[in-house]
Amino acid sequence: MPSFANPVPAPLAGIRAVDFTHVLAGPACTYFLASLGAEVIKVETVGRGDCTRSRGGTDPERAGSEMSTPYLTQGGGKRSLAVDLSSPRGYGIMSRLLAQADVFVENHRPSMLNELKLDYESVAAINPNIIHCAMTGYGRHGPKEDAPAYDVNIQAACGLMTMTGSADAGPTRTGAPVMDYGTAMAAGFAVSSALFQRAQTSQGTFIDVSMLETAMTLMSSAVTDYLATGNAPKQRGNAANSRSPAAGSFPTKDGLISLGINEEHQFKALADVLGKPQWKDDTRYVNRAARMENADALEAELLAALGERTAVEWETAMLAGGVPAARVRTLPEALEDKQIASRNYLHRHPGDDLAAVTVPSLPFRIGAVDAHVPDRAPPKRGEHSAEILTELGYSEAEISQLGAAQVIEQGST
């Protein structure tokens, strides 16, 4: 890793983002921005807040305290302002906040944004230089632009479920909300690109992020193959997309190991590691075409060889021999991998209360940084309302009046 003579500021230092999001995809996007140094103000509804605060996860105590593990996962690095946007004074607070912001991130249906006067035209009228990032299930325009959607709906709509699992099991959802987090990454990429564009043009812009199109992008090779050939992808269980006979997941003496044998040099390395050098000269396996034609024979010999040792033993030997391989792990086993610890990928929120949990950080590093992590724990609903309003120019008396009128909420238990 390169070293730098002088510390450099965080990539998004000096950027203020207004986070009007809920559930997973939107909050994850702003968590990524906060982890890169942006100041993020989370705007929540008085008395309710982000719905994810109280649902999901397997920890009822945290969920009951509006600090559920799904909320905590992408809640760090933010301050919370709880405000009634349906009231004129509440909208005035939001307008003042947007006027001083660089980025506005929201993941609500367009009809709701129109009702609240937080559509792009209204927001741009308040601040022409703002970057407005809108995240929706299907994207703006088209017959589904106002349709509600969650990760599970998009997995169904994009065709991924019919490609996952085995034919006997039927369509299968992935075990984690990958479309939510994929969309969050796409939105973060878009915001960063728009900030760079604004630096060149001095103009704000509107970003339209589609969960459905994010899903299609994550399946790009399958989409292209179908459009080019007309062959719809089928459920292949644990077989690799490359369709190579020695690529996929295979049983060993005590578990499964995933192999990615797609190139000639990889097959030769596999033969050496398995102690089967004769495979390299066997006419049945001499090249990919021959191996495809004799796939059943190769699989039978491969299974017999793999059954002689454990998955741990094979993974160690294969990685040492240059064979793309990985033991099939549970999540707890994966998190115990020394590779995870060596990268400082996991980050513990500061503090000693219910918010002090360990969460993932960003999957990349910019420059000589060990990890990009937020600088504060996830906030309680409305925890920073008074602080933020003071920064916006409201007097102490005005803040007290707004609190008494329930236009804002100052902290929650």
Q: What is the 3-state secondary structure (H, E, C) of 180-239?
A: HHHHHHHHHHHHHHHHHHHHHHCCCEEEEEEHHHHHHHHCHHHHHHHHHHCCCCCCCCCE
| Mean pLDDT estimate for the chain | 94
Q: What is the pLDDT of residue 345?
A: 96
Residue 135 confidence (pLDDT) above 60: yes
Residue 1 confidence (pLDDT) above 50: no
Kindly report, residue by residue over 228-272, the tens digit of the pLDDT: 999 999 887 777 676 688 889 999 999 999 999 999 999 999 999
User: With contact defined as beta carbons under 8 Å apart, do 53 and 67 qualify?
Assistant: yes
In degrees, to the nearest 5, what angle opens at C-alpha 264 toward C-alphas 261 and 270? 50
Kindly report, residue by residue over 282-296, the tens digit of the pLDDT: 999 999 999 999 999
- Which tokens in the block code for residue 45? 């509804």
Percent of the chain topping pLDDT 70: 97
How would residue 169 be classed by pLDDT, with cut points 50, 70 and 90? confident
Mean pLDDT of 188-215: 98
- Percentage helix, strand, coil for the chain under 3-state DSSP, each rounded to 5: 40, 15, 45
Which has the closest alpha carbon to 326: 238, 235, 237?
A: 238
Kindly report, residue by residue over 96-110, the tens digit of the pLDDT: 999 999 999 999 999
Residue 23 confidence (pLDDT) above 80: yes
**Per-residue CA distances from 366 to 31, 69, 109, 349 (Å):** 16, 27, 34, 21
Residue 222 confidence (pLDDT) above 60: yes
Residue 413 confidence (pLDDT) above 50: no
How would residue 6 be classed by pLDDT, with cut points 50, 70 and 90? very low
Kindly report, residue by residue over 339-383, the tens digit of the pLDDT: 999 999 999 998 878 899 999 999 999 999 999 999 899 999 999
Q: What are the structural domains, with CATH classification, of the chain?
A: 16-218+343-409 (3.40.50.10540), 247-330 (3.30.1540.10)
Q: What is the pLDDT of residue 412?
A: 61
Mean pLDDT of 384-397: 98
Residue 27 confidence (pLDDT) above 50: yes
Q: What is the pLDDT of residue 201?
A: 97
With b for 16 or more beta-carbon neighbours within 10 A and e for fewer, the 331-360 pattern comes to: eeeeeeeeeeeeeebebebeeeebbebebb
Q: What is the pLDDT of residue 401?
A: 98
Query: So which residues are the catalytic ones?
Result: 180
Percent of the chain topping pLDDT 90: 90
DSSP letter string, 15-29: -EEEEE--TTHHHHH
CA gap 49, 261 in Å, rounded: 49
Q: Sheet harboring 78-83: ordered strands across? A: 205-210, 131-136, 103-106, 16-20, 39-45, 78-83, 408-409
- What pTM was estimated for this model as a whole? 0.93
Please enumerate, as own/partner, the contacts of 202-205 that have beta carbons within 8 Å and a separation of 24 or more: 202/129, 203/128, 203/129, 204/124, 204/127, 204/128, 204/129, 204/130, 204/131, 204/132, 205/131, 205/132
- Report which residue type is found at 159: G
Q: Which residue has the tokens 């704000």?
A: 204
Kindly report, residue by residue over 70-81, the tens digit of the pLDDT: 999 999 999 999
Q: From the centroid of its chain, how far is CA 361?
A: 10
